[in-house]
A and B are shown apart, each in its own frame.
Chain A
Amino acid sequence: MSTALDQRTPPSTTASRRSALAAGLAATLSLLAGAQSHAAASGESEIPISNPRLRIAHLLRRAGFGATKELLDQFEPLGYEATVDYLVNYEHIEDPIEERLAALPLDLAKGEDLRRWWYVRMAHTNRPLQEKMTLFWHGLLTSALSKVPAPLMLRQNQFLREHAMGSFRQLLQGISTDAAMLIWLDGRSNRREHPNENYARELMELFTMGIGHYTEQDVREAARAFTGWTATREGEVRFVPRLHDSGVKTFLGRTGRFGAEEIVDILVAQRATGEYIGRRLFSFFAYRNPEREIVQELADVYFLSGYSIKDVVRHILLSDAFSSARAYRSQVRSPVELVISVHRLLGLETDGASLPYRSRLMGQDLFNPPNVAGWPGGAAWLNSSTWIQRVNFVNAVASQRRATAPGYLDLAQLVESHGITQPQELVQLLIDHLLDGNLSPEARAVVESYLASGQTFTLAPASLNRKGRTLVYLLLASPEFQLI
């Protein structure tokens, strides 16, 4: 029987999960052979997280949003590399998420319902890496509800999801004529007579190469090439030849009668683009400011694989650097990650109702990044206001005592299903599962001192509902849990 911690495993499902797992493995058996050489090639100076279980838990947090204890138990005997391949080849994983979403009374033409839709998806999908990658692209190839109608944001989101681990060339070709993007970066007002450089500039500065690899002249020439692509707010995308500048352009040293497609093809083939995408992906999954050699290695994978995002991501996840001490607990959990990981680690059910609001208070308004550069992340997630909202969010989860409420944590069932007979075992279980068992003796003493103060902490319902819930609150609100 499933328990609170175990609910993440789909019901009746050990079998179907195993078969999906097997399918995923079979499909990638050939790729597996290369894993060892990949791993050996990078970051040999770092010490990988030595405990195999912790290493997989780290992987499940970064390449997803964390997993229940039972799911971790299933992955552990499989080993690290096979788990990576299972996660990466997610197209083989059965995912009944659409049924769950269809059952919710959502109007996806409304921004707030659209946000809920994505939160529920992230909290309950069997393909966490697909959602993590969609979140990555949403923060890189941005568009926002502040300027774009919700149905077009949905369409863009589905496009990013579909191509999340595909070819970067296809992704960029598609996004360059995506309705939301044409509105967001003024493609609509980019006409032969009055070129608008907004998309051309951001395409090079933020989406492909980064500043320093092109000139103002390249921006102007690319803008000319994109003229003629236009979209209505209803989502109709059209190429209007009379608005297009069909003249000769010189772009990044090449000359021709370039249109949008040629510009994108030239860009994806730039060495700087391979390095930029490698750097952005590595920073997202492992740590910021990666070493030069790592970036070069990832750029090599990008070109050798024909712009395959999946190959680059897989290479990152299998690298020693990803599992190094430098990577471990080195990133601030974004608000979306915090919200989703609380649900996934504890196996909580959600209909997403309050999650957009909570996350917005913490500084991340999904589908509505603050500007074209996306969310800066890192230290920018933490200030006094967002910190208060973080601890208040986990407080709301931990102190929810109504069994029918979304996000309800059933502590009594947790105790029962794990055969816990002593309060200390519950403390240990939660520290192990929520914090990798990795809590300093000082912090552990703080928690134990709280539990020992006043009335004794016991597993009786009343005590579990008071001190037990505060225990969960303290662990989820702890500095350790704000990091990933």
Chain B
Amino acid sequence: MLTRRDFLRRSVVVVSAGLALPPVFTRAVHAATNNQGLDPLYRDRILVVVQMAGGNDGLNTLVPYGSGLYHDARPTIKITESDLLPLDGHVGFHPSLARLKELWDEGSLAVVQGVGYPIPNFSHFRSMEIWQTGNMEQNLTSGWLARLFEKVIDEEGHLLDGVSVGNALPLAMSGPKADVAVVQSLDTYKIQGDPGNARDTDARVDALLKLYASYPVKAPYAALLDNVSAAAHKSAAEIQRAAAEYKPAAEYPKSPLASGFKLLAQAITQNIGVRVCHIGMGGFDTHTFQPTTQARLLKDLSEALHAFYRDLEGHGKARDVLIMTWSEFGRRVQQNANQGTDHGTATPMLLLGGRVQRGFYGEAPSLSRLEDGNLRYTTDFRSVYASVLEDWLGAPADEILSARFERLPFVARATGARAPALPVG
């Protein structure tokens, strides 16, 4: 039986030989090892998780413009009806989301309304922790995606569990064995050689990796050092290769977020062998002067997502990718004295992809039945996770989340193990 560690060692060899094989290769490994893994139908599907850190104001993102209570609560920061982009007779998008509205009109976008969890926590740290572990009792300390890796993706033979754009591994992907490439920028993501000893370039990297492989397994941090060095080595080579071969099929705006999406597009379209991607943006903690800040952030998000999606379409990958946004909480219904909003509760999540069934999921939160001035959530975020895990990735959601949550049909569930193609929803 081939262990994951054996596989990683082999993949290092493949990568350093400069061959672009991963998808085929990983299937070969998968078949050869005859392990359980996922239904092959799901194996090429990719999840992209987008974090909107700081607590995005849901009421000014998906605006309940039909409600008088909304206008009363937001006298100076409301989105006026003439500005917003109506989705139906009740709600509309913030005007900065024009590019996402375009994708909604094409039928690729779903909105889950009023997402939250019982007994809301108003601390950024704690609420992010709850969302990222998928757990409120603090008895699960690993990330929900890390548990997905452990339960499923580790068995599939992908080159990596995931790619995260940034400088830190997100808690959602953090677990004892997570094999994730954390990439801050393409320029710096390579193991440099010594120009004064070029002839030993391969020998010194080889020796370095052997030092890590020989580090005593029982020593503190041994597993982490081993995982991290192996993930860095194989992913750096593959990500540089992908970047060199990639040709964008869409024009990206100039922003760090858009560059991050482009990096993910390189990894996805060049098939480096990754199942889950993570990317984040911050600044949504709009206690003061919210209108300007939120308009800028939503525009950045909308345009970057739009370019990313068009790029995926251009590479024939849009039907293999599901993009999911989240934020640790929404804001209070009543605006504050500084043109801003304070920490609140429920907020919408967006799902974008070629197999998404356009529409609203979950109930719109009531503006009249508040709790301490906050919205009562209508959909547990773990319902969204469960649907993504099971219907999109074919993973055992109940096991990963340690409980059963209602499913939301925003992607059509694949039926039949060998179905050639799926109906669009």
Known contacts A383-B168, A386-B182, A477-B208; decide if A332 and B221 are in contact (CB<8 Å): yes
Please choose the segment from A154-162, A301-309, A419-427, A443-451 that sits at the chain B interface, where 4 or more of its residues have CB less than 8 A away: A443-451
Give bound CA distance, A470 to B215, whole Å: 19
Do residues A474 and B211 form an inter-chain contact, with CB atoms below 8 A?
A: yes
B132 to A: closest C-beta gap in Å: 14
Kindly identify which residue among A389, A399, A442 contacts B197, using a CB–CB cutoff of 8 Å. Answer: A399
Known contacts A361-B188, A469-B194; decide if A382 and B225 are in contact (CB<8 Å): yes
If over half of A's interface residues share one DSSP class (helix, strand or loop), that class is named, otherwise mixed; here it is helix
Chain B 177-214 per-residue mask, 1 if CB under 8 angstroms from chain A, else 0? 00011111000111111111101100110011011101
Do residues A469 and B197 form an inter-chain contact, with CB atoms below 8 A?
A: yes
Of chain B, the residue at the smallest CB distance from A401 is B196
**Residues of A contacting B210 in the complex (Cβ-Cβ under 8 angstroms):** 446
Scoring B181, B193, B211 by chain A CB atoms within 10 A of each residue's CB, the highest score goes to B211
Please tell me if A454 contacts chain B, counting CB pairs below 8 Å.
Answer: yes
Chain B 134-172 per-residue mask, 1 if CB under 8 angstroms from chain A, else 0? 000000000000000000000000000000001111000
**Residues of B contacting A398 in the complex (Cβ-Cβ under 8 angstroms):** 194
Do residues A450 and B194 form an inter-chain contact, with CB atoms below 8 A?
A: no
Please choose the segment from B111-119, B226-234, B264-272, B396-404 that sits at the chain A interface, where 4 or more of its residues have CB less than 8 A away: B226-234
**Residues of A contacting B124 in the complex (Cβ-Cβ under 8 angstroms):** 371
Do residues A385 and B182 form an inter-chain contact, with CB atoms below 8 A?
A: yes
Kindly identify which residue among A373, A383, A386, A480 contacts B180, using a CB–CB cutoff of 8 Å. Answer: A383
Do residues B184 and A399 form an inter-chain contact, with CB atoms below 8 A?
A: no
Do residues B194 and A399 form an inter-chain contact, with CB atoms below 8 A?
A: yes
Kindly identify which residue among B212, B216, B222, B235 contacts A384, using a CB–CB cutoff of 8 Å. Answer: B235
Please tell me if A329 contacts chain B, counting CB pairs below 8 Å.
Answer: yes
Do residues A329 and B228 form an inter-chain contact, with CB atoms below 8 A?
A: no
Please tell me if B236 contacts chain A, counting CB pairs below 8 Å.
Answer: yes
A251 to B: closest C-beta gap in Å: 21
Please tell me if B220 contacts chain A, counting CB pairs below 8 Å.
Answer: yes
Please tell me if B419 contacts chain A, counting CB pairs below 8 Å.
Answer: no
**Residues of A contacting B191 in the complex (Cβ-Cβ under 8 angstroms):** 388, 391-392
Do residues A479 and B225 form an inter-chain contact, with CB atoms below 8 A?
A: yes
Known contacts A443-B211, A450-B204; decide if A399 and B222 are in contact (CB<8 Å): no
A312 to B: closest C-beta gap in Å: 24
A379 to B: closest C-beta gap in Å: 6
**Residues of A contacting B1 in the complex (Cβ-Cβ under 8 angstroms):** none
Chain B 75-89 per-residue mask, 1 if CB under 8 angstroms from chain A, else 0? 000000000000000
Please tell me if A13 contacts chain B, counting CB pairs below 8 Å.
Answer: no
**Residues of B contacting A194 in the complex (Cβ-Cβ under 8 angstroms):** 337
Please tell me if B224 contacts chain A, counting CB pairs below 8 Å.
Answer: yes
Chain A 459-484 per-residue mask, 1 if CB under 8 angstroms from chain B, else 0? 00000011101100110011110110
Do residues B194 and A388 form an inter-chain contact, with CB atoms below 8 A?
A: no
Please tell me if A363 contacts chain B, counting CB pairs below 8 Å.
Answer: yes
**Residues of A contacting B221 in the complex (Cβ-Cβ under 8 angstroms):** 332, 379, 382, 482-483
**Residues of A contacting B236 in the complex (Cβ-Cβ under 8 angstroms):** 384, 388
Do residues A388 and B232 form an inter-chain contact, with CB atoms below 8 A?
A: yes
Of chain A, the residue at the smallest CB distance from B210 is A446
Give bound CA distance, A399 to B196, whole Å: 7
Of chain A, the residue at the smallest CB distance from B124 is A371
Known contacts A384-B180, A478-B211; decide if A329 and B220 are in contact (CB<8 Å): yes
Of chain B, the residue at the smallest CB distance from A441 is B214
Give bound CA distance, A265 to B220, whole Å: 39
Do residues A442 and B214 form an inter-chain contact, with CB atoms below 8 A?
A: yes
Give bound CA distance, A370 to B125, whole Å: 12
Do residues A383 and B182 form an inter-chain contact, with CB atoms below 8 A?
A: yes
Give bound CA distance, A331 to B219, whole Å: 11
Give bound CA distance, A389 to B207, whole Å: 18
Do residues A384 and B215 form an inter-chain contact, with CB atoms below 8 A?
A: no
Do residues B181 and A465 form an inter-chain contact, with CB atoms below 8 A?
A: no
Instruction: List A residues 368-407 near B (Cβ within 8 Å).
Output: 370-371, 373, 379-380, 382-389, 391-392, 395-396, 398-399, 401
**Residues of B contacting A453 in the complex (Cβ-Cβ under 8 angstroms):** 203
Do residues B192 and A480 form an inter-chain contact, with CB atoms below 8 A?
A: no
Give bound CA distance, A450 to B194, whole Å: 15
Please tell me if A330 contacts chain B, counting CB pairs below 8 Å.
Answer: yes
Give the top 9 A-B pairs by smallest Cβ distance, nearest first. Answer: A384-B232, A442-B214, A385-B182, A383-B182, A399-B194, A450-B207, A479-B215, A466-B197, A383-B169
* Chain B residues within CB distance 8 Å of chain A: 124-125, 166-169, 180-184, 188-197, 199-200, 203-204, 207-208, 210-212, 214-216, 219-222, 224-225, 228-229, 231-232, 235-236, 337
Contact sample, A vs B, 28 pairs, CB 8 Å cutoff: A332-B221, A371-B124, A371-B125, A379-B221, A380-B169, A382-B224, A382-B228, A383-B168, A383-B180, A384-B180, A384-B231, A384-B235, A385-B182, A385-B183, A386-B167, A395-B192, A398-B194, A399-B195, A443-B215, A446-B207, A447-B207, A454-B199, A465-B196, A466-B197, A466-B199, A470-B204, A473-B204, A477-B208
